[in-house]
Structure formats: C-alpha cells, structure tokens
Chain A
C-alpha cells in the first residue's frame, strides 16, 4: 500500500498500463506539452513520445471518433475529455458509434476505448463547466460507465477500463483529484458492474458515487462517532451496469435508504436507484427512499448561489435524520451508546 492522491493514482496507472501494453496510447486536448488541464498526464509525453501521447486539435467529435476507429483495429486508446461538458460535442461518436458498433455489426468488431473525463461543480466555473451528465452515457446500452470515489478505486477501475473490450466512460471529479488514500501496489483490476459496501451498518443505507460516495463515507463516520448511528454506505462505482442487487440486499437489512448524487434529481441516477429499490425491496421499506441532489438550475458563478445549489454534507445529514424519523427511529444524542 502507498498513500497517494486520486490524481497520482490515475497518473501512475496510465503510465503502468502504457509500459505494460504497447497498444495503449493517450489522446486529448493539451495532454502532452501542456501536461493536461488537471495534470493527470504530467511527464508522459516526455517519457513515451508523441506517438503515444497525442495532443489533438480542439475537435472532440473528431478525436473521439479517431479513437473509436483505432480501437476497432485493436489499439487501446485512452481519451481525455478535458471536462465531461465538452464530451457533448462528441455525443454522436460516443452514443451513435462507440456504443453501437459491437452490436450493430453482429459482434464482429469491439471498441476497447476509455474516455476519461472529470465532472462536478463547486469551482465557480459557471453553468457550462460544472455539469454532471454521466447519466447521458449510463442511459445507453453498449456503454459502460464507472465512477471511482477513492484513489484505490481510481486505480482498480482504470485498470479494468483499459483492459475491457468495450467503450468505458471513466468519470472523474474535480473535487476528488487532491483527495488522498491508500492504494495497493499490485495491479488488480476491479470488476466493472459491482458496487461496494464501503461501510457496513444496520440503521440506514446511504448510497452515492464519485464525489458523493466520498461525502457519504464521511457523513456516516461522523454520525457514528457523534450519535452512534450505524449507517451502511454503498459506493455504486459502476453506473452501467448498475449493481441493483447489492443496493437491494442492503435495504432489505436496513429498511431505509438515502441516495446522494451530484447530478440533477429529476430523471437522475438516483431516480433509477430509487426505482430499483421499489422493485426489489418494496416490502422492506419503512420510509420513502430519499434523494439528495443538485438544485435544478444552471449552476451559477456566484459563490453563495453555487454553494446553495450543490448538495452538501449538511443536506445529507438532514435527509438521514428525516428518514430515520419517518422510520420511527429517533437519532440518538451524542455520547449515548446504543443498547
């Protein structure tokens, strides 16, 4: 184990995979000479050269498609979209092509492509640079979408994404790049399509992904310490396929669920998770499934407005308290241990 940042884990994994496999190469805007907007690819151009670290023109649709074609011929391109907002310029290539080619041509060619891209707000970047539109890709059969929340998962899921033969949208988050954690030294890919119970508990199931899985873990730890609450935390990790089973089995044990998400509530990822709980654990629920999501506005630049619009730890704690109250279970004051 080595302690490193989420950013460093991504960088080191990219480098290790490029050393392991000649067919892995990187493409994107400003990833080479400039070393990446968020410096994930720092030093890689110098080490691997222009053939394998390719600075592209500002042409998202173009280089996404170029990566698809290269992948069809057996290379393993890892594309960096500077932010997920810009990936919408490549929507035709990703949705109409990357996700379709394997099925539409009867399984004759696969597209082993990774698109790395950060989402998230909170940096005062304004409405067009702060979105969480991973849902667009998670909606589409043929795509795989993963969303690591820790440095260890950043490594394990990136290994899995690069070695997978399908197009994978790899969701990063601006607020996570500097977070630190223990990262295994050995290369063990995660299994795409599996959620993780990152904290077992009996009182309530708290579900998140990406930044909000990080928030969920913090909130659960704080409430355990302060109030003796025993909250189970699930990090979805994979948005397509979605691991409904892990969520439902958890809710069958805890009888209550709160979902934390950075995207918009209406039609969001949380809506799908809540519907799945209704499908699979209807009889087990003691309270309505609660969702904590971003306010439904184009995110403002103004700091107080931006802060108000984004889901916070306090929003999560309020939702947890209200849900437990609806269950009929009182939250226990600090210092009192549960019987």
Chain B
C-alpha cells in the first residue's frame, strides 16, 4: 500500500533500532480476533472519514472567512491521528502542536466544540481564546495545542515528571512534526526524559515537509527515529498511512512508557495539501503532485475494506452519511455560538487575582486627568462656544 516514494524517503528501510527487543511494529502485542479486528477497522475508517470531512469543512469555512488566523489541517495524516489516539487511555495526556483538529476530535471532544473554537466562539474548547492552533480540554486530557514549533516538548516532559512524582500510571503522548527535531528543546526534552525515566512517548509525525523544507535538507540524520539512540531511548518507525500499524506501534510505545521509560516513535505519513489552508504548495514538483494522488490513506483503507468484505458500498456510503451529519451539525453549532463578550477580556490574565492588575482598554487613560479648576471662564465649552 505505501508508495515506493514514501518508502524511499527515509534513507534506510524501516526497522527497529534494537532488533533484539521484544516486538516490532508489525507484531501486535495483543492477539486480536478477526471479528474484533474487523470492528476495529470499521471504527478506524469511520474516524478517519470524520477527520477528513471535518478538515474539508474547516477549509471551506476558512475561505468563507468564518475562521481567522492560521489553519493547519490533518489532511493525509488521518491514519496517523486515528491510530495514535486509539491507543491512548482516557486518563493519558496528550500534548500536540498546531496541526491538531483531528487529535482533538479523536480524544473524544465533541467536533462541534472544536469547530466552535475555530470560529472563535465561547463554546469552543478554549472558549475562543486559542483558535485553530490552541485547542485545550482538561476533561479529555488534551493539554494543548501549541503554536510555537516544539513549545510542547519540554512542557509534555514536565507533565510526565508530575505523573512520575505522584506515582501515577498515566502516560504522556507528545506529538511533533519532522521539522521540530531540529530545535534545541527536542534534544533537551529527550535527554531529560531519558535521564529521569519519564513515562512519555514522543511521536514524530513525519509528513516529509516543514513548511516547504524537506527532512533531508533539515536533518543531518533523516532517519528521525534514530535520534533516540543518542539518549539510549527505544525508538521505532512505522508506516503512518496504515492505521492498524500505527495503532500497534503506539500500543507498544505506550507499554514501554507505562513501564517507566520514554519512547520515540516516528510515524511516516503525508501532507496531502499545503502547510496551511492558504498555502498552494507550489514548491512541490509535478511528479510529487502526481504521486500524492495515489497516497490517500482514507481511500486506501476504503479499497482494502471493500476487498476484504469488511464493508460493502452501502456500508461506506452510510459512514459518509453519518459523518456528514456530524460535520454539518458542528458548523451549525459553531455559527450559532456567540462571540465572547468584550467584558470578559481581562478574565484570564491571572489565576490568582492581585492588586493593581491593569484592566485598561487602549483608549482609556491610566488616570483621569484632574480637571482644571472650574471658573466662569474655563467652565465654558472649548469648542462650539457661541457669542
């Protein structure tokens, strides 16, 4: 299923860093009965279609100026998103970057609230304060949504420290893009996590491009999962276009983390469109554009499920119908949700109220000027005075 080009993007074939370690991504750690497997694949497919249609709806809303700011979509990464999120327990924590709508939905957050956040409304997951890049929901343990490349890495590492500090059995998953492996905080975070045996899985979602910069041009070691070796951290690469492979690789990584060791997982995927909604991706060659046409994970899974008899055509159509209703409903909900009141502007500067916190709007003076002593002459209006 994965094309030759994507297989070849890494300079070496996929293999685990430590062949002697128990399982590889292609060997699921728990045996799944065929019937269960079919149910799982059906669920994966439905979820992937939901992410796909949600993102398409978001792109449309963006062109209709209903969404502002930057808007980065998970188009092409649906198998990675769904596989990874399916492996987490509800009590586990997720930290991710600015390409996160799909992750938010797959954590179980109502798509309507995700769309409302894109619209900047009060019913959005971050109450309209975050937007596309800053989704956050404590109850679903999505702890952001970070717009600064790699900003989430040290923070996620600290969340893992807090779990370890309290002796909890949750883990942290921290996703990042391929370009993020070049920043200093990547090294600092992985080093600390490995030194302190923290329960965290770092997932590099390698879609091959920063904005337009290729992995080969930004990383001296383009086999990104190999960076784990510098920290004696177990690591692996998996085909990110196959949701089951991603799920199984994530389950294995999570098991390692739950055992008290960090893990580095590289998920090789594709970004089918531009870096963000407004990017026409003109830096891609004609061959690359042609190749991407056959790199649609949703389409691939549909074909596979039809061929295996897991779905028939009416079954696929029913999924589309159900998902369309969810997405339409989400857009309607978002459009109906009110904008935040201007009076709430100063509600979230500080969690602990303190005296002398400034609550001044731009046109307001710090202090009302003392009026000039009123005498009969000066009391007259300055302008519009009549004879």
Q: Which residue of chain A lies nearest to B125 when distances are taken between CB atoms in the complex? A: A106
Contact of B333 with A by CB under 8 A: no
Contact of B356 with A by CB under 8 A: yes
Residues in chain A within 8 A of chain B (CB atoms): 25, 51, 54, 56-57, 59, 61-75, 77, 92-93, 96-97, 101-112, 141-142, 144, 164-166, 191-194, 238, 241-245, 248, 276, 279-280, 282-283
Q: Is A103 a contact partner of B348 (Cβ separation < 8 A)? A: yes
Within 8 A of A (CB), among B93-142: 93, 95, 124-130, 134, 136-138
Q: Is B130 a contact partner of A165 (Cβ separation < 8 A)? A: no
Q: List 17 A-B contacts (CB under 8 A).
A: A25-B165, A59-B188, A61-B184, A66-B154, A71-B158, A72-B155, A73-B159, A73-B162, A75-B162, A75-B165, A102-B349, A106-B127, A106-B348, A112-B351, A165-B351, A191-B354, A279-B367
Q: Which residue of chain A lies nearest to B340 when distances are taken between CB atoms in the complex? A: A106
Q: How many residues of chain B are within 8 Å of chain A by beta carbon?
A: 55
Q: Is A105 a contact partner of B154 (Cβ separation < 8 A)? A: no
Q: In the assembled complex, how far is the CB of residue A140 from the closest CB belonging to chain B, in whole angstroms?
A: 10
Q: In the assembled complex, how far is the CB of residue A77 from the closest CB belonging to chain B, in whole angstroms?
A: 8
- Given the interface pairs A59-B192, A61-B184, A248-B367, the reply to whether A73 lies near B163 with Cβ below 8 Å is yes
Q: In the assembled complex, how far is the CB of residue B132 from the closest CB belonging to chain A, in whole angstroms?
A: 12
Q: In the assembled complex, how far is the CB of residue B96 from the closest CB belonging to chain A, in whole angstroms?
A: 13
| CB contact between A92 and one of B148, B189, B354 (< 8 Å): that residue | B148
The docked-state distance in angstroms from the alpha carbon of A64 to that of B377 is 62
Q: Is A193 a contact partner of B157 (Cβ separation < 8 A)? A: no
Q: Is A108 a contact partner of B126 (Cβ separation < 8 A)? A: yes
Q: Is A106 a contact partner of B155 (Cβ separation < 8 A)? A: no
Q: Is A69 a contact partner of B158 (Cβ separation < 8 A)? A: yes
Q: In the assembled complex, how far is the CB of residue A129 from the closest CB belonging to chain B, in whole angstroms?
A: 21
Q: Is A97 a contact partner of B127 (Cβ separation < 8 A)? A: no
Contact of B383 with A by CB under 8 A: no
The docked-state distance in angstroms from the alpha carbon of A104 to that of B143 is 12
- Which chain A residues lie closer than 8 Å to B357 at the CB level? 193, 241
- Given the interface pairs A66-B158, A68-B154, A106-B136, the reply to whether A243 lies near B352 with Cβ below 8 Å is no
Q: Is A65 a contact partner of B154 (Cβ separation < 8 A)? A: yes
Q: Is B154 a contact partner of A103 (Cβ separation < 8 A)? A: no
The docked-state distance in angstroms from the alpha carbon of A66 to that of B59 is 35
Q: Which residue of chain B lies nearest to A283 when distances are taken between CB atoms in the complex? A: B370
Q: Is A103 a contact partner of B159 (Cβ separation < 8 A)? A: no
Q: Is B130 a contact partner of A105 (Cβ separation < 8 A)? A: yes
Q: Which residue of chain B lies nearest to A141 when distances are taken between CB atoms in the complex? A: B349
Q: Is B126 a contact partner of A280 (Cβ separation < 8 A)? A: no
Q: In the assembled complex, how far is the CB of residue B159 from the closest CB belonging to chain A, in whole angstroms?
A: 4
Contact of B358 with A by CB under 8 A: yes
Q: Which residue of chain A lies nearest to B185 when distances are taken between CB atoms in the complex? A: A61
Contact of B156 with A by CB under 8 A: yes
The docked-state distance in angstroms from the alpha carbon of A280 to that of B145 is 41
Q: Is B354 a contact partner of A66 (Cβ separation < 8 A)? A: no
Bitwise, B34-63 to A at CB < 8 A (1) or not (0) is: 000000000000000000000000000000
Q: In the assembled complex, how far is the CB of residue A107 from the closest CB belonging to chain B, in whole angstroms?
A: 4
The 7 A-B residue pairs whose C-beta atoms are closest, nearest first, are A65-B154, A69-B158, A62-B188, A106-B127, A110-B351, A105-B136, A73-B162
- Which chain B residues lie closer than 8 Å to A59 at the CB level? 188, 191-192
| CB contact between B138 and one of A56, A92, A109, A194 (< 8 Å): that residue | A109
